Structure 1
């Protein structure tokens, strides 16, 4: 046998071994294939959904993972034709022969350089003909010689000549890096793999834009491979969730009896739903309660204008938050008709899986400090990006997370980005491992005022008449005693004063009423104060906007005693309410700092009584302070454009 024949036999033997290994590695890899729904018709070219040709762009380093995409494409459409441009050299031909069994047809050609004909012009003509025939043409924008991950102009030229959409594709799996110019990835068996397709580009884009889109998708796929692996803490969290399932079911029933759940929607807490998933992209936003739900409404409107075909899934944890979303759905806002509400499932792996299997969101936007390890891990393992809006992490919470950092799941590393409400929160998130943190201000300051039933407002104003009204809003245990004593002192100067106590948790209405020596009327029992009644318990959900509008001045609870935390002051500020708060407002430190000098600080019942008396005796002076507080906020329903751009990048 001569040397040439021996070399050919060795090459064929190597090719057989390489094919066998690649087939074994790719088949034993657990692939997750996901991305923009609009890309599926372009990638599969199914007869019922064909788009008559599409350009697929992927980095050269992922060539050996191309068969995974082709196998998926042929499962969707057995007649799918996929052609790929390969280098006009020995290595390119070897790779072409290697992937041929997966139905991939190679076209030889490289960019012409230095006056040398590399077959680029001929390959370009062939590519145009292939695309006009309605096939898939795949190329590596950085091939054949690099530099790696730097797109050449051929991709832009092909888009301009053919007018076909470009679909960026990123793949990542457990792999080795070979010592080649592109650090070619060699898949390893028995790992996890991700194939992500981005939003199709219908018009020609520049090489820089190709770089940006492919890099973003590749980073997302790489993060899913590295951060989607379960550690000991993740396993412990999962096992704990399974063990607690009976207790959680019991807790649901207990909450149902206390009026904190809805019987017809209890299954949503276990990830079930009776609502069909709409076609197309779904962006998932989670807003725990009333304040968070209210804060994302301007954002929903702005996103709906930008993306007329996108649907929005909003989850809440409380009935109050659900009521806010329901009121928005009934409005004529641009996003209302494309909005779906669900109660968020408890953080149990089975229930979360059921939820994600049904809804398949393109991204998850959490608000404030709603961070659930199991939910975030489940999204990471499906390559669903997760970000936090209005990120809030108080000093106390930050210190707690710091102590648990060695034992907790890789929660903060798995977040794609955090839009912190202030610099202090941003520092806390960075210290805990979030790689991408920025500040866009507090979304709650641009939220619309809390809603109100106008007919009920008119009725109650007529019933109360000229009586001055003091509201104690969102109070917590221990504060009501101080408020009742302060109200008694204030009535010595203002005998007709009506004090309304609206507890943060309305189920405490009965306990609060029992604090007084006489029977106090409760709103939840449809009892109303008569002319001789000085205190009214507003123990109902979703009516704080009503009581703020009835009051002359208001005190924000959860702030008198340590550790406290406070509550959002922006809602009453939007309504020009004269405000006071206790000294313990750490959870809303940036908000109160923004309103410095415009919200009075109260320490005990005597100060509170004196403040009520001062407001009632000099209303114009105090109203000017309330007006100044409102002027300190950004305009109503303002959304930072930079935040919208970050969300678009996350979903793309």
Structure 2
């Protein structure tokens, strides 16, 4: 440390005054500790081997007490030793931090041939580590050069056979004009401590320096974004002002069958369900498609981590039904580790309730669900957030680009994004995502949903040998087109049955009125011999319907903007498939199926495609086999993705 003005500052503060200042600053600062979960059991002495080296740059020396307070919060018996210079500065620092249970070891490297007590300190540090204590050290101290690792810490780790945990720290602080720009913490601010993955031991001084720099850069980034930006304040204010209207909207949605009366409180962050003990991963999947993507991933994670529990949230009743059916079919020991809630609306007060109640250790958002307030709230609490099976259409990317300041801050908060493919990954990167990988489409790992055999037998008996055109997951404006195509097909196949399964069954009333009130499955009716249309307005039965279909048309693709739906499920069930032209949300999947899925622009084109297939079983088999070969066998959830998610969780 330079003699002026750092020396003058320290000389003017006796240890008692320094201690009082540090106590005020560190205790009034809102600290968040994040980073590698593997470092936590080492710091808390929960690993198999006790004792470790905590390394941080010298300018963060005074923030060490905050990290140690966090460590000792649950483990008051632990002791920490810190290597400090044996000069007056070092003695003052050792006296100042002593009340936090930190014991100083005086000594530093020799300079210009003059012994500074380094050999004695090295031997003492080695003894401390072998006794199972923690040792804090500044690899660039006590006199620099700044951020240059001296060889002693690497040698100490190898001789003691103890890991090094690199740490980065940043807080509201006064920087002294010393060689290391020593940070003097200021009270009533925010602070970030980032733990890097342990090095056991470091391969070289360069590797340790790189890990320290990465942890410090992340701490500084998190500190820079820990407050509220103007767009985030505006978003929070908008959510607060709209809260009364959202409550009214909930009642309207309830009347329309889009909410469950006994679970409305969950939308406000309220629940009577208890948080399970241990590590908890929060997985949000908006609706049916996202749930289908998430469930194989959840099963694989529960298999990988026996002590892990999962909270799954959805935004729709249809998604909740898919989750409930999967939980019910899971083995009892796995079902006991699963919880479902409806995600609260993005109102600050409701988000706080939700996070206070559940305290997730990490959060995964599936595909394209982005909740700016919730993601920012998680980031401020040190809860790592990632997007899996990330999907970002060109249209959505352009919209976010118009809100560049908000987008850069929001997407920059994400720990990583696992994109479906190269196009999605490139769009995420332009919005500021720091780590973006491509693991393929998780829908490839989703098996076809199970089917109740009694329901299958009942419907099959009602339909008999009639050919079936299934319109799956239809959206407004598509049912009329399908009905017209069915009318054209019945000119040559009068026994045709057209089954319409709307994406949102709450629309069934208006659909039925527009189509002459065909029998509805939700009313317990079956298609009769004289019925040409059948309305399958129930949840979670597409697997059943695909198994009964002769050919199928997949919705949300007839009118712009559309977006399409997942084609893998019908393809795996061997159904010849057609869709409309507006399939941007699933373009990679349909590109993979190019030449095996028909694209129809109107009712006439659909009738022209389906007509020849209805009576040609060999041609249908050929199309189905070609599509199945194009997507390949059902895939496993990628192991690297499971490993990356596991790194977000406590060990």
Shorter chain as denominator, the TM-score bin is: 0.7 to 0.9
**Per-residue CA distance 1:256-287 (angstroms, 9 max, x = gap):** 33332233332222222333333332222211
Distance 2:415 2:188 in 1: 26
Partner Cα separation in structure 1 for residue 625 and residue 275 of structure 2:
45
1:30 aligns with 30
Q: Show the counterpart of 2:471.
A: 472
- SS for the counterpart of 1:244 is helix
Report if the CA contact (8 A) 2:37-2:647 is conserved. no
1:273–1:550 Cα change, 3 Å = same
Residues 1:356 and 2:328 are matched in the alignment: no
The equivalent of 1:486 in structure 2 is 485
Structure-1 separation of matches of 2:622 and 2:384? 45
Equivalent position of 2:345 in the other structure: 346
Mapped to 1, the partners of 2:13 and 2:600 lie a distance apart of 81
Distance 1:414 1:128 in 2: 39
**Distance of aligned partners of 1:18 and 1:592 in 2 relative to their CA distance in 1, 3 Å threshold:** same
Match of 1:193 among 191, 194, 197: 191
Moved more, 150-159 or 439-448: 150-159
**How far did 1:556 drift?**
0.8
Task: Please give the alpha-carbon distance, in whole angstroms, between the structure 2 residues aligned to 1:12 and 1:153.
Answer: 29
Secondary structure at 2:275 match in 1: coil
Native 8 Å contact 1:304 1:334 kept in 2: no
> 1:48-447 to 2 correspondence within 5 Å?
53-60=50-57, 61-73=59-71, 76=74, 80-88=78-86, 91-110=89-108, 119=117, 122-131=120-129, 135-140=133-138, 143=141, 145=144, 148=147, 150=149, 152=151, 154=153, 157-158=156-157, 161=160, 169-178=167-176, 182-196=180-194, 217-329=215-327, 330-332=329-331, 336-405=335-404, 410-447=409-446
Residues 282-319 of structure 1: CA distance to partner in whole angstroms, max 9, x if unpaired?
Answer: 22221111111111233223333443333222221122
Distance 2:441 2:580 in 1: 21
Q: How far did residue 19 of structure 1 move?
A: 4.5
- Hey, what's the Cα distance between the residues in 2 that align with 1:489 and 1:328? 39
1:89–1:612: structure 2 CA closer, same or farther, 3 Å change rule? same
Whole-angstrom distance in 2 between the partners of 1:181 and 1:622 = 76
Cα separation, partners in 2 of 1:43 and 1:427, compared to 1, 3 Å: closer
Report the more deviating stretch, 118-127 or 290-299: 118-127
Deviation at 1:349, TM superposition (A): 0.8
Residues of 2 paired with 1:400 and 1:42: CA distance? 44
Residue 546 of structure 1: which of 544, 564, 576 is its match? Answer: 544
Instruction: State the alpha-carbon separation in 2 of the partners of residues 438 and 253 from structure 1.
Output: 41
Q: Quick one: distance in 2 between partners of 1:152 and 1:645?
A: 32
Alignment CA distance shift 1:341-1:141 (3 Å): farther
2:3 aligns with none
> Distance between the aligned counterparts of 2:298 and 2:475, measured in 1?
31
- Work out whether residues 284 and 312 of structure 1, in 8 Å CA contact, stay in contact via their aligned partners in 2: yes
Give the aligned partner of residue 561 of structure 2.
563
* Distance in 2 between residues matched to 1:421 and 1:278, nearest whole Å: 31
Secondary structure class of the residue paired with 1:296: helix
8 Å Cα contact 1:376-1:386 kept in structure 2: yes
Contact preservation (8 Å) 2:553, 2:579: yes
> How far apart are 1:470 and its partner, in Å?
0.8
Residues 220, 383 of structure 1: 8 Å contact kept? no
2:577 pairs with one of 579, 585, 588: 579
Deviations 1:222-281 (A, max 9, x none): 332111221221111111111222222222233333332233332222222333333332
TM-score by length of structure 1 reads: 0.88
- The whole-number CA distance in structure 1 between the counterparts of 2:603 and 2:594 is 22
Q: Contact 1:41–1:50 at 8 Å: present in 2 too?
A: yes
- After superposition, give the CA deviation of every residue in 1:128-178 in whole Å (9 maximum; x if it has no partner): 544566644333455554672758574675477366x76654432123555
Deviation at 1:608, TM superposition (A): 1.0
Answer whether contact 1:233 1:409 (CA < 8 A) is retained.
no
Whole-angstrom distance in 1 between the partners of 2:345 and 2:260: 15
Whole-Å separation in 1 of the counterparts to 2:155 and 2:266: 46
User: Equivalents in 1 of 2:299, 2:394: separation in Å?
Assistant: 32
Residues 1:157 and 1:602: Cα distance change in structure 2 (over 3 Å): same
CA distance in 1, matches of 2:488, 2:477: 18
My pick for the range that moved more, 418-427 or 304-313, is 304-313
CA-based RMSD of the aligned residues comes to 3.4
Task: Tell me how far apart the structure 1 counterparts of residues 336 and 577 of structure 2 sit (CA, whole Å).
Answer: 36
Structure 2 unpaired stretches of 5+:
1-5
Q: Which runs of 5+ in 1 are unaligned?
A: 1-6
- Alpha carbons 1:37, 1:280 under 8 Å: kept: no
Deviation for aligned residue 1:346: 1.1
How far residue 108 of structure 1 moved from its aligned partner, in angstroms, is: 2.3
User: Which whole-Å deviations, capped at 9, do the CAs of 1:394-420 have from their partners, x for residues lacking one?
Assistant: 122122222233566832222232222
Distance between the aligned counterparts of 1:627 and 1:345, measured in 2? Answer: 43
Tell me, yes or no, if structure 1 residue 507 matches structure 2 residue 534: no
SS in 2 for 1:639: coil
1:118 deviates by: 5.7
